[in-house]
Copies of this chain bind each other. A is one copy, B any other.
Amino acid sequence: MVADRAGTSIATVSLVVNGKDRGRVSAPIAERVRAAVDELGYVVDHAASSLARGSGDLVVLIAPDLSNPFFAEVIRGVRDTVGDRFQLVLSVTERGQQPATADVRRFERLRPAGILVDAPASGEDLVASVPVVQLDAPGGPDAVNYDLSPGVQELVAHLAGLGHRRIGYLDGTSRAATFAVRRELLHDAARAADVAVSPVDARADLTVDAAAQVAAATLDAWLEDGVTAVVAAADTLAYGVLRAAAANGVAIPGQLAVAGFDDLPSSSVTAPALTSVALPGADLGRAAALRLLATLDGTAAEVPALPTRLVARASTTG
């Protein structure tokens, strides 16, 4: 340890550097240490510090593949909340994969203070030797979730109000539990509103390209089945429907109304602008981070589910 060139012991330096010098180290000595630290550009070694301490100042956030811009919002919320107290590091899964137990295990090695897992594969048992908080993981323990019901009900009421009696559903291939919930809630709401959901099965990876391909292959089936509106499980999927419809001369919303989930920033500039159930990503990130911090402080805070609502735009209203 170079900084004992301040003429003091290693232990004293450690105390000062970690701000534990209150009433343990005299002011002039602490000052000398700080000066030496500055001069030498010293920075405490994370590995050694974690080892000695038992755990470090890292918070890791494991998120699905970022091709869905929704996660950028979530990350921003986490980052703003975790702040300076911890160092946030991110990990993303491979394209189309959801975070799973193996990912948590791999990051446990880093001895983080805690782990955040966004949209994990359902049915995984995400326990670790450090606190874990899940995001958007309906049914999971220690999860912070959206309350999707109001948004979905608004959406169905909106479509029913516009006269749609039969809707198609473009699902994601994702194994995240939230997608199962979206589908179910939509079916429930439709039943209650006396709207039929077409049995035509369509599902795609969460990218515009993949969705456009699936939508192109499914458009005819939907129309033949009498579908007048398609709900996609995510905005990126809905973009694919928009693209496929444009390519095939299907008028939106004239022949087919389209809606999604997420309300991404770009959903206001699509052709036409997209109706979507807004899922405030940054809020989710903030809430989860807050919950993790509370757990670390020993003040386990229950976090209520986050509200969702419908944002109606031209892709349904014309």
A residues at B contact (CB < 8 Å): 43-48, 50-51, 56, 60, 65-67, 69, 71-73, 75-76, 79-80, 87-92, 94-95, 105-106, 108-111, 207-209, 236, 239, 242-243, 246, 265-266, 268-273
| Additional A-B contacts beyond A67-B72, A76-B95, A90-B92 (8; CB < 8 A) | A47-B47, A47-B110, A66-B72, A89-B89, A89-B90, A208-B265, A209-B265, A266-B266
A73 cross-chain contacts in B, Cβ below 8 A: 67
Please report the C-alpha to C-alpha distance between residue A246 and residue B73 in the assembled complex, in whole angstroms.
25
Please report the C-alpha to C-alpha distance between residue A110 and residue B266 in the assembled complex, in whole angstroms.
36
A272 cross-chain contacts in B, Cβ below 8 A: 271
Interchain nearest-CB distance for A89 vs B (Å): 4
Interchain nearest-CB distance for A311 vs B (Å): 14
Residue on B nearest A265 in the bound complex, by CB: B208
A-B pairs, 5 with minimum CB distance: A271-B271, A66-B72, A46-B109, A90-B90, A47-B50
A79 cross-chain contacts in B, Cβ below 8 A: 92, 94
Q: Can you give 10 A-B contacts (C-beta < 8 A)?
A: A43-B106, A45-B109, A45-B111, A65-B72, A65-B76, A66-B72, A87-B106, A207-B265, A208-B268, A266-B266
Most chain B beta carbons < 10 A, residue from A71, A207, A242, A271 = A271
Is B271 touching A270 in the complex (CB atoms < 8 A)? yes
A208 cross-chain contacts in B, Cβ below 8 A: 265-266, 268-269
A239 cross-chain contacts in B, Cβ below 8 A: 265-266, 269
Interchain nearest-CB distance for A7 vs B (Å): 25
A76 cross-chain contacts in B, Cβ below 8 A: 65-67, 95
Residue on B nearest A60 in the bound complex, by CB: B89
Most chain B beta carbons < 10 A, residue from A50, A87, A209, A236 = A50
Interchain nearest-CB distance for A9 vs B (Å): 21
Other-chain contact of A92, B45, B56, B75 (Cβ < 8 Å):
B75
Is B90 touching A43 in the complex (CB atoms < 8 A)? no
Residue on B nearest A242 in the bound complex, by CB: B269
Please report the C-alpha to C-alpha distance between residue A122 and residue B6 in the assembled complex, in whole angstroms.
35
Residue on B nearest A235 in the bound complex, by CB: B266
A47 cross-chain contacts in B, Cβ below 8 A: 46-48, 50-51, 56, 110-111
Other-chain contact of A105, B43, B90, B266 (Cβ < 8 Å):
B43
A105 cross-chain contacts in B, Cβ below 8 A: 43
A75 cross-chain contacts in B, Cβ below 8 A: 66, 92
Interchain nearest-CB distance for A61 vs B (Å): 9
A95 cross-chain contacts in B, Cβ below 8 A: 76
Please report the C-alpha to C-alpha distance between residue A80 and residue B243 in the assembled complex, in whole angstroms.
28
Interchain nearest-CB distance for A44 vs B (Å): 7
Please report the C-alpha to C-alpha distance between residue A95 and residue B79 in the assembled complex, in whole angstroms.
10
